[in-house]
Amino acid sequence: MVDALFAGEQLSKRFGGVVALTETSLEVRSAEAVGLVGPNGAGKTTLFNCLLGVVRPDSGSVYFDGRRIDGLKLHQRARLGIGRTFQRLELFSGMTVLDHLLVAKRARGSGARMWRDLLGIGGPSREEMDDADRVLELVGLSGYAHSMVESLSLGHGRLLELGRAIIGRPRLLMLDEPSSGLDSAETAVLVDVVRKVRAETGAALLLVEHDLDMVSVLVDRLYVLDFGKLIADGPIDQVLADEAVRTAYLGTASVAGENSAVAGAEAAGVDEL
């Protein structure tokens, strides 16, 4: 417990009659990469939201760096050093790509000060611009700096969300199905960016993903969630070999790849609606 960077303990959440989470505990240690998988509706996104304070869990507690953070609001938890992306894109509509990064950078830094704006010195500093340029290059969106986000493709949107999550140099990166709706080239860029960022900053990773290939490339340890309950956790190859996991979620090993392709296609279809 003490050595975990981020931990949820005994988290439960119901939505009316739907039990989304039952007494689920999960922890991510410093610099560790952890995966969270499970069938559709298993409660993965709900777990993310409970950990970050987007929804209030019915019971349970959340720790960051050994400190209880249940009382903290969403933005306060973010400022502890947690960057996240969303399963359904949450971009700032009506803003340019560059401004997404500048806003995220500033929000983790000194914040906006109206008196500075009034004096004309509140805009982005040299460093902030450089940082934004660097991140743009990293996620491959340099050519789109001044585009409105509405004009981006889904894949570029996901990369921008990733860029927005990492520009504050988070200690923990939480990605919710980052590859859904992406083609294989875009997924490759995404995996590459995540690896580079982790190598550079040593950020821990909590990854929700249906694409098991991507999971096994990025992650050391895996949790499996089914109907709001954890059914397995441990080193990734061990978990994937587990009989219960295979029947509950993966089917046989040979179908696993197909499954993920189907899940990806479905998600893409939904997102494009």
Partner 1 sequence: MSTFITYLIPGVPVGCVYALMAVGLVLCYKTSGVFNLAFGAQAYVSALVFYLTVESLGWPIWAGALVAIVLVSPAIGVGLDRLLFRHIRAAPSLVKLVVALALLIGIPTTMKLLFGSATRLNPPSIIANANVVYHFGSYYVSRGDVVTVLVTLVVVAALGILFRYSEIGLHMRAAVESPRMLQLSGISAERVGAFSWGLSSFLAGLAGVLLAPLFSRVSSLDFTTLLVSAIAAAALGSLTSLPLTLVGGIVLGIGQAVLTGYLPLNSVLATGLRPAFPFVVLVVLLLVMPGLRGAMEVTDPLSGCDPPPPPLAASVRDPRLDRVARIGFPIFLAVFVISALTWVPSFWVFILTQGLAFSIMFLSITVLTGMGGQISLCQAAFAGFGAFTAGQLAMHLGLSVIVGALVGGVIAAAVGVLVAIPALRLGGIALALATLAFSLLADNVLFPLGWLGNGATGVTVPRPAIGPISFAGTRAFFLLALVALAICSTIVIMVRRGMTGRYLAAIRGSELAASTVGINVAKQKVIVFALSAGLAGVGGAVYASTQGSVSPTDFNYFFSLVFVVLVVTTGVKTVEGAINAGMAYVILAQLLSYIPDHPAWLQRFSGIEILLFALGALGYVIHPEGVVEFQKRFWTERIARMLDRFGSEEGEAEGKDASDGLGSPVAGMFPAVPRAPGGSGDAGGW
Ligand X SMILES: Nc1ncnc2c1ncn2[C@@H]1O[C@H](COP(=O)(O)OP(=O)(O)OP(=O)(O)O)[C@@H](O)[C@H]1O
Cα 153-169-149 angle, rounded to 5 deg: 20
Instruction: Give the pair of three-digit tokens for residue 101.
Output: 């990064």
CA distance 203 to 211: 22
3-class DSSP assignment, residue 73: coil
Report what 123 binds from partner 1, ligand X, Mg ion, none; CB cut-off 5-8 Å by kind: partner 1
Q: How far is the CB of 256 from Mg ion (least distance, A)?
A: 19
Nearer to Mg ion, 88 or 113 (CB): 88
- Find the binder of partner 1 among 144, 177, 232, 264 (CB under 8 A): 144
Strand order of the β-sheet with 59-64 is 18-29, 4-15, 59-64, 67-68
Q: How far is the CB of 124 from partner 1 (least distance, A)?
A: 6
CA atoms within 13 A on the CB side of 34: 22
For residue 165, how many other CB atoms are within 10 A of its CB? Answer: 23
Binding-site string for partner 1 from residue 25 to residue 64, where x marks contact by CB under 8 A and - marks none? ---------------------------x-x----------
CA distance 220 to 116: 45
Binding-site string for ligand X from residue 24 to residue 63, where x marks contact by CB under 6 A and - marks none? --------------x-xxxxxxx-----------------
Instruction: By CB under 8 A, name the binding residues for partner 1.
Output: 52, 54, 73-75, 78-79, 83-84, 86, 90-96, 98-100, 102-104, 106-108, 112-114, 116-120, 122-124, 129, 144-151, 164-165, 168, 273
